[in-house]
């Protein structure tokens, strides 16, 4: 077989390099410098993460405690409470010295870390827990150990600022707070401690309420405001006028005076007279007075007993309810006598009194008037009888005078609500004068 020299026939191929047709074997090459650096960094990071993990696990199993002499120690976590009980501390802040106060007046230096434990023994970091701020009538103040408060009270000091400070007002809207010992001197210059003596509560066109000083009342009236009708201000002095044994033929005159002076009273009525004067009972209720219970026919409770007294009270309450749509919520024992059996059977708050005018005995208007004005105080419950003409004469003088003096004339229920938080069944109330 003849072979032709391909290069002879195609001489241009002689300059071309032959092409491999078999696979090329790869050659091993080493890492570059940058590659080695990357690997090294990865190894370092992995080692650091492992070390951190080991330290975290180790640290979770130990705790640091601090000694009184400044020593610091790593201890097993499970033994931490034991070390703290031995006088070590969990924080360097616990070593800080602080003052602690006791109610007996003693003061000690202690470490902050011991404060909670010492509080259980009556030592406090807050001085107000162990001491009381006391006030003198001249305006001085003094911190006194709690155990000494009663001693200082007996010496004329007070534990409430309100006991020695009083607010004074003028009709032009001026206000002033002064020690009570100095109040008399200011009152001689025209100031008063009874806001309602120089101001009125008024209601605006949209129902808004505001205390308006007397000098500005006319301006408010021109803007469409009106003087509020019997809105009780719990922050102002109030008293309860009470009338027993009625109603009677003079009661309507008394009601007219109360209505004219925007005031109310409580009438402890007899059931048999409720039937005699039904229109008077309705009128009293309509002007905001309170209808209360004095039994059907002035029954002596201790002589009659609990059951009979309760029936007399029930009968009277039913008669009142028929007239005004509600029964009586308060009871006044006739002659002021009662016992536990009576209170339990009647089941109403029993209302006594704190000022007895003895009007039934004196039958003298001046005597009744003077008794009230000489003894009246915020919270008083005053006993009178509207079946006596001299009493009603005295009352029609008293009512405007008391209002002028800044007293609100309220019902007994209102008085007890604002001064006692309400009245409970079977309990006795007389609103005695504070000492």
List active site positions. 244, 385
The torsion angle over the Cα atoms of residues 265, 266, 268 and 270, rounded to 10 degrees, is 60
Q: In whole angstroms, give the CA distance from residue 23 to residue 26.
A: 9
Beta-carbon contacts of residue 312 (< 8 Å; ≥ 6 apart) = 271, 295, 296, 297, 299, 304
- Report which secondary-structure segment, H or E, holds 373: helix 365-375
Q: In whole angstroms, give the CA distance from residue 284 to residue 281.
A: 5
Q: In whole angstroms, give the CA distance from residue 18 to residue 76.
A: 79
CB 353 within 8 A of CB 430: yes
Sign of CA dihedral 171, 177, 183, 189: negative
Exposure string for 193-225, b = 16+ CB within 10 A, e = fewer: bbbbbbbbbbbeeeeeeebbbeebbeebeeeeb
Q: In whole angstroms, give the CA distance from residue 80 to residue 66.
A: 11
For helices 365-375 and 389-404, the axis angle rounded to 10 degrees is 30
- What does the DSSP assignment read for 97-153? EEEEEETTS-EEEEEGGGHHHHHTTTEESSHHHHEEEEE-TTS-EEEEEGGGHHHHH
For helices 306-324 and 278-286, the axis angle rounded to 10 degrees is 70
Q: In whole angstroms, give the CA distance from residue 329 to residue 331.
A: 7
Q: In whole angstroms, give the CA distance from residue 138 to residue 156.
A: 10
CB 239 within 8 A of CB 379: yes
Residue 144 phi/psi, 5-degree rounding, is -125, 135
Q: In whole angstroms, give the CA distance from residue 188 to residue 183.
A: 9
């Amino acid at each position: 077989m003849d072979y032709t020299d391909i290069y002879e026939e195609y001489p241009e191929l002689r300059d071309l390099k032959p092409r491999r047709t078999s696979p090329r074997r790869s050659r091993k090459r080493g890492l570059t410098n940058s590659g080695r650096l990357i690997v090294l960094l990865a190894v370092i990071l992995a080692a650091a993460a492992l070390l951190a993990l080991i330290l975290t696990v180790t640290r979770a199993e130990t705790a640091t405690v601090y000694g009184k002499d400044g020593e610091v120690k790593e201890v097993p976590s499970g033994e931490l409470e034991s070390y703290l009980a031995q006088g070590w501390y969990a924080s360097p802040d616990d070593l800080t010295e602080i003052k602690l106060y006791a109610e007996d007046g003693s003061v000690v230096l202690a470490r902050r870390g011991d404060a909670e434990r010492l509080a259980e023994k009556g030592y406090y970091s807050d001085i107000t827990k162990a001491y009381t701020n006391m006030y003198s009538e001249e305006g001085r103040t003094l911190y006194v150990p709690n155990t000494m408060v009663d001693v200082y009270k007996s010496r004329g000091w007070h534990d409430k600022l309100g006991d020695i400070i009083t607010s004074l007002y003028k009709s032009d809207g001026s206000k002033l707070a002064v020690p009570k010992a100095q109040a008399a001197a200011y009152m001689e210059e025209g100031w008063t401690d009874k806001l309602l003596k120089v101001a009125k509560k008024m209601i605006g066109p949209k129902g808004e309420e505001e205390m308006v000083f007397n000098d500005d009342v006319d301006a408010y009236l021109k803007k469409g405001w009106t003087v509020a009708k019997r809105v009780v201000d719990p922050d102002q002095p109030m008293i309860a006028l009470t009338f027993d044994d009625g109603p009677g033929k003079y009661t309507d005159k008394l009601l007219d005076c109360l209505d004219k002076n925007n005031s109310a009273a409580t009438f402890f009525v007899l059931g048999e007279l409720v039937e005699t004067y039904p229109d008077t009972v309705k009128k009293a209720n309509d002007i905001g007075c309170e209808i209360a219970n004095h039994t059907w026919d002035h029954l002596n409770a201790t002589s009659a007993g609990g059951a009979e007294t309760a029936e007399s009270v029930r009968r009277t309450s039913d008669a009142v309810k028929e007239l005004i749509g509600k029964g009586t919520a308060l009871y006044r024992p006739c002659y002021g006598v009662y016992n536990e059996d009576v209170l339990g059977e009647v089941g109403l708050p029993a209302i006594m009194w704190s000022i007895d005018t003895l009007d039934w005995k004196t039958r003298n208007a001046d005597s009744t008037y003077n008794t009230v004005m000489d003894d009246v105080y915020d919270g008083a419950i005053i006993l009178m009888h509207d079946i006596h003409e001299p009493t009603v004469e005295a009352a029609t003088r008293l009512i405007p005078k008391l209002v002028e003096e800044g007293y609100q004339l309220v019902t007994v229920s209102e008085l007890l609500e604002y001064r006692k938080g309400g009245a409970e069944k079977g309990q006795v109330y007389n609103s005695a004068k504070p000492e």
